[in-house]
């Protein structure tokens, strides 16, 4: 299957055999797709995880905008968008595949990072965007025995029901939720993964906003939960699927990504305070101007 030149990434034979239904793709279009037929890669890796019955092709919405933005700055920096094909499994209705998906994503992250071997600014971690159940699978990565937390530098979830399943139809799904949420709450002090959860608001009939809030205890400093209608420059509520395609929201996401780049490493910054201040700027308190590291005080109101 080709979407504007998307390239299927060859997985190690053992891995392909163990997960015959799943695949990993690198998104591309036009001349960018042609150039990236030759590895190794030189950009900043972002991995998109689709949700219940979701398609890996949904990465196009955010991937295309990121490419336009990179063109605007003459590819001084650019992002490489990867996407996992979960074979459009119905994980919200049957939770038996969730553990398998999580393990596959772990292998995908290791495979992605190998594609940058030998590069001057080779990344050591990936950013993840997860739609719906894809966001929960991303959080579940931390519960895997041999998973190194610093493989993920940022997690953005879109309309992900973090609190509880929308329909607890089987033990698999309820057990999976308990494992993930208990882990995040009990290990709160050791989890320093910057996480942003975006809810669709009143138009999302499938996942109500209350379910999208990250477990409160687990994050004193490194998590933000917002509703799309309150995101500056977005101001609209999205339904469960259109949150992936909402242009205003994807523009905000990509602006944040570019502001997160560390000029020295040419990768996403490792500084948790900088990550939070960038996300705060774009998703919460945007004063309609560019992000500044130390904004100057505009007026000093002394003596009033």
Return the structure tokens found at 45.
Answer: 């890796």
Closest by CA to 160, choosing from 200, 205, 101, is 200
Pairing of strands 44-49, 126-131: parallel
Spatial distance between the Cα atoms of 170 and 109, rounded to a whole number of angstroms = 29
Q: Which residue has the tokens 């500044």?
A: 292
Residue 26, helix vs strand vs coil? strand
Distance between CA 18 and CA 149 in Å, rounded?
Answer: 24
Q: Which of 187, 105, 185 is nearest to 138 (CA)?
A: 105
Cα(142)–Cα(182) distance, rounded to whole angstroms?
11
Strand partners, 158: 131, 198
The residues annotated as belonging to the active site are: 132
- The three-class DSSP label of residue 241 is coil
- At 66, which helix (H) or strand (E)? helix 60-72
Strand order in the sheet with 44-49: 7-8, 23-26, 79-85, 44-49, 126-131, 152-158, 195-199, 223-227
Rounded to whole angstroms, the Cα distance separating 14 from 107 reads: 11
* CA trace torsion 290, 244, 185, 165 (10° rounding): 160
How long, in residues, is the chain?
304
Q: Residues near 254 by Cβ (< 8 Å), separated by ≥ 6?
A: 62, 65, 66, 69
């Amino acid at each position: 299957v080709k979407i504007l030149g998307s390239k299927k990434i060859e997985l190690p034979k053992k891995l392909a055999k163990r997960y015959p239904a799943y695949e990993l793709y690198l998104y591309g279009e036009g001349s960018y797709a042609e150039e990236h037929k030759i590895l190794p890669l030189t950009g900043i890796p972002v991995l998109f995880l689709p949700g219940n019955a979701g398609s890996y092709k949904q990465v196009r919405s955010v991937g295309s905008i990121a490419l336009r933005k990179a063109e605007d700055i003459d590819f001084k920096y650019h992002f490489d968008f990867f996407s996992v094909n979960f074979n459009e499994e119905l994980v919200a209705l049957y939770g038996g595949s969730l553990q398998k998906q999580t393990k596959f994503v772990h292998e995908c992250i290791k495979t992605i990072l190998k594609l940058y071997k030998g590069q001057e600014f080779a990344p050591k971690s990936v950013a993840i965007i997860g739609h719906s159940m894809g966001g929960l699978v991303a959080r579940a990565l931390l519960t895997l025995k041999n998973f190194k937390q610093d493989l993920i530098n940022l997690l953005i979830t879109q309309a992900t029901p973090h609190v509880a399943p929308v329909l607890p139809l089987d033990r698999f799904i309820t057990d999976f939720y308990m494992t993930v949420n208990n882990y995040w709450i009990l290990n709160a002090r050791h989890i320093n993964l910057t996480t942003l959860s975006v809810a669709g608001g009143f138009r999302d009939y499938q996942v109500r906003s209350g379910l999208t809030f990250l477990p409160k205890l687990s994050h004193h400093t490194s998590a933000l939960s917002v509703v799309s209608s309150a995101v500056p420059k977005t101001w609209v509520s999205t339904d469960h699927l259109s949150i992936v395609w909402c242009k205003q929201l994807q523009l905000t996401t990509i602006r944040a990504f570019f502001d997160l780049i560390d000029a020295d490493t040419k990768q996403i910054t490792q500084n948790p305070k900088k990550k939070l201040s960038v996300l705060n700027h774009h998703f919460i308190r945007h004063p309609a101007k560019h992000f500044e590291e130390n904004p100057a005080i505009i007026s000093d109101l002394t003596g009033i």
